[in-house]
Structure 1
């Protein structure tokens, strides 16, 4: 499977399943539009190309969601806070692209400081980890990593890129604001790569504090139809050089490897 030279129609028709229209099956905007299927790469790409994503607990049937409304971020509109800018300038941390996907997704799967019992994971369980790791091997799923000055992974995020839209999945941090710096790095990478929209799926206070906005589902799906067909700079495992977080405020911080 390649990320190039696939039409939007072909992307939506990948896999064995015909997903229903969110507007037809979910007119009240509850969010869930289908149950069942599998997490094969073709199925996932077809679902995301239609605005759907899987969200379910371990040992439950696969549930496919298309929330109403949708939480999105326009990369060119993103503005980091003054305090984050100051921190970026003083830290000796580095950002990388696609250098530790497995570590990032597994870190995102671990319990947060929000009351989960010890040993209990988030909805990112082994079935999800295996599925998105396979998507990463096909060049659709990507991670942004933050490393401290001792080379330790302290933050990151992962998601999917199809055409000129990035579908964000999850982020984590082990040091203050490391996930925010990863998000800032993603925004700058998207602008440089001509990625026009980041899908944040469901709104939460953290995403809204970063500048995400709420958009009606119907409007999102109309724009999605155009974005998945637009070309953007490809993100390969070794396409971009590591970048010091202190460079985030520069004109074009991410440099392509020649």
Structure 2
């Protein structure tokens, strides 16, 4: 069994495209570090690696196999979600806001209670690191507002022509799905081939996400990184949801 890579300041990640899992008993765990060092998060995403850990743990860096992805044309917009979209689009007080208050959306994701989950992986260190990515134009928030109240949303990461979904939250029925539907519609308009959903779950499957091998994901990631730059295009409103009607 190979030793898991322990990364210090300035040390490069092993490339999961060419490096087998160091410990088969923990599939997908690529590396560990004491903290998230400057520049480390951006480097990780461009290799298909993401952090996922809890307070009082070192930073655990993952590249799972298989990898859950959502192709925009495969998004399943149910009849109930279409009904919600119609109501939302026709309600004058409803809004979709992109990057208006990134911190508020991340905090809402961190503090939302989730079924079968005790606590959150979105630590203060994670919030700070993704806020820095946001300041650099590589992390984005989509907020769903009703009567100026934040009721749902998500945040994600983008590099080149690739979008990585991170976390969603809902304070009312279908609010997070509205945010996801808006993101997927936007991705379809900008020729984004796939949205990274990281881990396989029944909820993501119900929305059209499917697992692919890590090798296929990483090869497509490199193609997407070299294809286009979508960072400057992040600006849309609720009318984008009419794509699904």
Band of TM-score, shorter chain: 0.7 to 0.9
Total equivalences in the alignment:
230
Does 2:124 match 1:126?
A: yes
Return the match for 1:198 from 182, 195, 198.
195
Check conservation: 2:159, 2:230, Cα contact below 8 A: no
> Hey, what does 2:134 align to over in structure 1?
136
1:152 CA displacement: 0.4
The alignment's TM-score, normalised by the length of structure 1, stands at 0.82
Q: What's the counterpart of residue 13 of structure 2? A: 19
Mapped to 1, the partners of 2:166 and 2:75 lie a distance apart of 18
Which residue of the partner structure matches residue 256 of structure 1? none
C-alpha deviation, 1:103, in angstroms: 0.6
- 1:102 alignment partner in structure 2: 103
**Is residue 178 from structure 1 mapped to residue 175 from structure 2 by the alignment?**
yes
Normalised TM-score (structure 2): 0.86
Q: Is the 8 A contact 2:140 2:156 kept in 1?
A: yes
**2:160·2:231 contact (CA, 8 Å) conserved in 1?**
no
1:164/1:197 contact within 8 Å kept: no
Query: 1:115 and 1:250 mapped to 2: Cα distance?
Result: 33
Q: Please list every run of at least 4 consecutive aligned residues from structure 1 whose deviation after the TM superposition is greater than 4 angstroms.
A: none
Aligned to 1:248: 241
Over aligned residue pairs, what C-alpha RMSD do you find?
A: 2.1
- Mapped partners of 1:16, 1:196: distance in 2: 31
Gaps of 5+ in 2: 1-8
Structure 2: distance between partners of 1:70 and 1:219? 9
- How far is the alpha carbon of 1:235 from its aligned partner? 4.1
Q: Which moves more between the two structures, 77-86 or 166-175?
A: 77-86
Q: Which of residues 217, 220, 223 is equivalent to 1:220?
A: 217
Q: Distance in 2 between matches of 1:250 and 1:116?
A: 33
**For residues 111 and 87 of structure 1, what CA distance do their matches in structure 2 show?**
21
Say if 1:73 and 1:135 are closer, same or farther in 2 by CA, change over 3 A: same
